[in-house]
Structures are given as structure tokens and as C-alpha cells.
Amino acid sequence: MPDKELAERVARLERQVADLTERSADAAAARVLAAGADHDVAQVRAELRAHTGTLNALRQDQVDLREEMRDGFATVNRSLRQIIGLLGDARPEAETSD
């Protein structure tokens, strides 16, 4: 009987060792996957920061352009008012007596 008990104990231990080896391999694979996922997340975050920076720069360009256009239109309006004023002064007398 002792030989049979020993054989059962050895078989049980071998199954436990095989199970632990499999679990260890699974844990190692999970660590590799987690490291890869962490690297991927870091890349996505870096790209997102780059895109955000690009959008912020584009927004600032649009704000600057809007200000330049307002200044330019204001200058054109002043010039047109001045031209209209000069033309009004240059109208013939017959037109101004209406």
C-alpha cells in the first residue's frame, strides 16, 4: 500500500507543478500584454497632446487673423469715409442746391 500512496502523491504533485507552471506562463503573458497596452496608451496620449497643440495653434492663428481683418476693415472704412467726404466737397454747385 505505501507504494500506491506514494505514486498517488507523486502524481498529485506532478499535476500541481504542471498547473503552477501553466499559471506562471499565463501570468508572464499577462505582464507582456499589460506592458504592451501601457506602451500603446502612452503613444495615444502623446499623439493626443500633439493634436491638441496643433488645434490650439490653429485657433490662435484664427484669432490673430480675425483681429487683422477687423483692423483692416476699420482702416478701409475710415478711408472710404474720407473719400466720400472729399467727393462731397467736390460736388458742383448745381448738385448741392437740390
Dump pLDDT digits (tens) for 41-56: 999 999 999 999 999 9
DSSP state, 92? -
pTM of the model: 0.51
Per DSSP, helices labelled H in the chain are 2-89, 93-96
The residue assigned the cell 498517488 is 8
**pLDDT single digits (tens) 32-91:** 888 888 999 999 999 999 999 999 999 999 999 999 999 999 999 999 999 999 998 876
Euclidean distance between CA atoms 87 and 82, whole angstroms: 9
